[in-house]
Structure 1
């Protein structure tokens, strides 16, 4: 059934926007003042056919708003500007991913090193009593999260250990972690050392683990990890949260340009000069925070590569270093 351009309704008040053909998308962009009439070429239309239109509009709406507010100056509104920003965003995302990979390696290695130097490498990290409580249920949620990640990890060593444990205990290994089989999952994972499973943790979970795995208030594991990475203990938790937010944004191919961060890092002193006139909730701020997690000899080089790339286009640079009111969807 052909449904392009047809409105659908869910109940008396909910209207679902129609799916648009490429020609209808072009008309939509003209009618709503995104671009000057006649500026969409055949090449632009071809690119529109290969992009989720909703994704494209995320860039186009912000572009239209910036031009309309005179926050960027252009001779005329054209798709060339938006596609150039999209392409540059992809290049920045690839560079950021490169940095994130190195930062994660360092954080995971330091977490294992410091935890296992102080606590038993197996089983202890699966006990709720191991964790600092931020609320009554937080230790339980953390252990459940760890088990969830372990049981969906496809690393052969981990799977083999779980199967051997199930055989020796005359139990059946659950295919995945669920609340109903929590006890079984806990028993079978008891002999898995932290270093075998830490790579299964999401960066968000890893951050929670590092911050909360030690109830010692004088010399907790997280402070030792922060020292290893040369991150100030005063801002370490905030910087790790920012790192996780950035990682999730890049991993899900989210738009970075004109996207305010929800977990904003504190200003990295190392890059104070680079962050002059940069909004603290901008993505560029998050990029500089990432640079501080890299080995010392890589930090300034990475920051310079980011600056060079983001500074190669005035429209892109404005949107990656500033935060503005989100334009309405129309």
Structure 2
């Protein structure tokens, strides 16, 4: 089948939305936002306002442009909040990995092939990636090391791994062989190695989604994070239904749990509660929230 849709001028986009049943009282406002956000991006937010079958593209009565725009604004604020909090977890993970492995295996443990699982594919990929980052970085500490020291050729882990992204740290943890050091890293976050590996993978995806301005509020994550069976600290009394485990609520719970380990006294729970209070019209079930989530100890009751 050939794609035969033609681009529409903003005025035509507005007319099409009105024909499909969306109320747009302020045409200039709609034109401004469609000029700067784009029809296609906003279409992901008005999808939930469509009647069934959604393929008919007819809006539920009462759907307004402002309701769609509020959903977009809510999602943007949610992404910014999540992105900021994951930064704390990323820095803690990097710190703990470097600290524990350096004490046990030396400054340049990331170059020790025996610490990595299976075949050498990931090990060589990591070395290539880090060397590439070190060659192109403008970070003063890397340039200083290379000017001053000739042996070993590459700087210690506390310098080299500062250049690794959260996704790369997640892959690094996943590919390290099980041992007492890896267990200590996981224990620092209050879960076992398998759970932490799964959580880091999910957080890496969500962090990238935030960084690339992807919709989150009603997105299904590509891989469901593991729900811990025996968490060391306060977890959920009632886990999400299995059909909701790949929605953002479970990820928010994971962030809250990890932040309690790495940043005690943080205000994440309050920020989430305030955001939802500011947008009471946003349906929580699209995000996988359980009906009585506010009563969970994890969320501070």
TM superposition score category, shorter chain reference:
0.7 to 0.9
2:163 to 167, 192, 200: 200
SS of the aligned residue for 2:158 comes to: helix
Q: CA deviation at 1:152?
A: 3.9
Distance 1:304 1:264, change over 3 A: farther
Q: CA deviation at 1:239?
A: 0.9
Is 1:244 the equivalent of 2:208?
no
How many residue pairs were aligned? 279
Distance 1:163 1:21, change over 3 A: farther
CA contact (8 A) 1:85 1:316 kept: no
Q: CA deviation at 1:208?
A: 1.8
Q: Residue by residue, what CA displacement relative to the aligned partner does 1:202-236 show, whole Å, maximum 9, x if unpaired?
A: 111101212333x3x441x3211111122233411
Q: TM-score, normalized by length of structure 1?
A: 0.73
Q: CA deviation at 1:310?
A: 3.2
Partners of 1:141 and 1:235 lie apart in 2 by 24
CA contact (8 A) 2:49 2:60 kept: no
In structure 2, the partner of 1:111 is 97
Distance 1:164 1:242, change over 3 A: same
Is 1:150 the equivalent of 2:114?
no
In structure 2, the partner of 1:174 is none
Structure 1 residues 1-330: aligned runs within 5 Å: 14-15=2-3, 17-31=5-19, 33=20, 35-36=21-22, 38-39=24-25, 41-64=27-50, 76-122=62-108, 124-133=109-118, 135=119, 137-162=121-146, 190-213=153-176, 215=177, 217-219=178-180, 221-267=181-227, 270-273=234-237, 275-276=239-240, 279-296=244-261, 298=264, 301-310=267-276, 312-321=279-288
Q: CA deviation at 1:68?
A: 6.1
Distance 1:293 1:38, change over 3 A: closer
Q: Show structure 1 runs of 5+ residues with no match.
A: 1-12, 169-187, 323-330
SS of the aligned residue for 2:153 comes to: coil
RMSD between superposed Cα atoms in Å = 3.1
SS of the aligned residue for 1:118 comes to: helix
Distance 1:300 1:319, change over 3 A: farther
In structure 1, the partner of 2:296 is none
Q: Show structure 2 runs of 5+ residues with no match.
A: 290-301
Partners of 1:271 and 1:64 lie apart in 2 by 36
